[in-house]
Structure 1
């Protein structure tokens, strides 16, 4: 990796849009109410909408991971044309169900892998489907850093902004593995967040985010069930930040990254 991303956290960027899909958190408006304490969190499986933006053939092949990533990105942009918006897709593991199916196939007598299964197995599958769904030709990065994937995605996204990209869509997501892999990597469901970032304000911008690397301790959430989500899903390590955004709270928050380093972010709400 070149040195560009290491400079990225020490700058302020504009936050234009947010989205989330997680167990008991169907979308950002509901999640914001829960994070503000206005609504109780109740466990429910993640609701993954169909990938309606894909052509019919690709829509039938779209996995849970693809549906999750597409919905997160589209909801964060909220109708904005994605054609010129660079993307960063970051996931700790990507498509667990497809990985399981491939392992089953290879463990049997017939080891012929279908082309569809193979191309859905690569880590950049969600980014590829994003390009098909949106017809975007903008640059796209795909990352994996195990439990630090959200932080790595943030650093890369801000690095692109410093390098001249006017806007970047960061999509962080995780999905479950069936048994027996689930016992080794017990992600319980599909979940993720997306942040639409830019170097200049838009009319809809929520505020600014300033980031830096730190060795300060990581923030947790006071509500035990929500902190359970934070710990269960690498992509949801950003929940303390989303809580600050939902509350309009400008106190800094520290998120997990590559220990002993963590990521300190401060959200400053836009003034009326």
Structure 2
């Protein structure tokens, strides 16, 4: 079993601009209503760097920025970035460019196409030279990122920033990875059992039923993006109650998350 403390959280989704708004929704009797995606303007990058980024990078950085708000020493943080498919808009644009005469692939598009582009921009903005991992695990991407970040926090005895994010793909790619809504979740994790938002005890269990949301629209949101599989954990934190939550992880394995409010 791996045990970590969640220190801070950042959330971005349609109709949800931050963790405070997510908390209000998850505490409410009302169901999720959706809405517009809030403006994505992460301030950690200089304007010329921000102009080179994409929607996928911005939604990841915006959640990360919220999770690190008012925190000093971000240059000492390790990080784990997890996404089911990365930046499919960029992949689509590059593939289309390769069909054109002269194959005019933009250098900016090319360097944004790598899976660790959001992690790279975060390292620049935060001034961090610590280790960073970027991974993908289809529908298990949140659980995979959570386990990776938790193991690093415990083994290396360093605080770790976890960011899991998804964007709907272009129409041509939608049948291959049907992500319905943009979603990004960031958590600052530490191995220390000091004060925080909640304590998580993580272990693997045989494949079985995953935890679901009781309200229909929230359940639809949970299924709309792999990063939104975090919603059962977020709901337990928002409602300040202990919970045992099962997350989709690897083939044949789920991730069991025992959450204890601090």
Q: Do they superpose with TM above 0.5?
A: yes
Which stretch shows the higher mean deviation, 159-168 or 128-137? 159-168
Conservation of the 8 A alpha-carbon contact between 2:44 and 2:65: no
Q: Deviation at 1:266?
A: 1.4
Matches within 5 A, 1:85-124: 85-124=77-116
**Alpha-carbon distance in structure 2 between the residues aligned to 1:45 and 1:99:** 25
Q: Deviation at 1:169?
A: 0.7
Conservation of the 8 A alpha-carbon contact between 1:91 and 1:235: yes
2:8 equivalent to 1:52: no
Tell me: CA distance 1:244–1:196, structure 2 relative to 1, closer, same or farther (3 Å). same
Conservation of the 8 A alpha-carbon contact between 2:2 and 2:151: no
Matches within 5 A, 1:64-103: 64-81=55-72, 82-103=74-95
Aligned to 2:8: 17
2:214 equivalent to 1:222: yes
2:153 is paired with a residue of what secondary structure?
helix
Q: Deviation at 1:14?
A: 1.0
RMSD (Å) for aligned C-alpha atoms: 1.5
2:21 equivalent to 1:33: no
Q: Deviation at 1:140?
A: 0.7
- The answer for unaligned runs of 5 or more in structure 1 is 1-9
- The CA deviation string for residues 85-129 of structure 1, in whole angstroms up to 9 with x for no partner, is 110000011112111111110112221312111000000000110
Q: Deviation at 1:176?
A: 1.6
Aligned to 2:160: 168
**Alpha-carbon distance in structure 2 between the residues aligned to 1:48 and 1:234:** 22
- Specify which of 143, 150, 159 is matched with residue 135 of structure 2: 143
2:76 is paired with a residue of what secondary structure?
coil
Aligned to 2:203: 212
- Specify which of 144, 157, 174 is matched with residue 152 of structure 1: 144
Conservation of the 8 A alpha-carbon contact between 1:90 and 1:150: yes
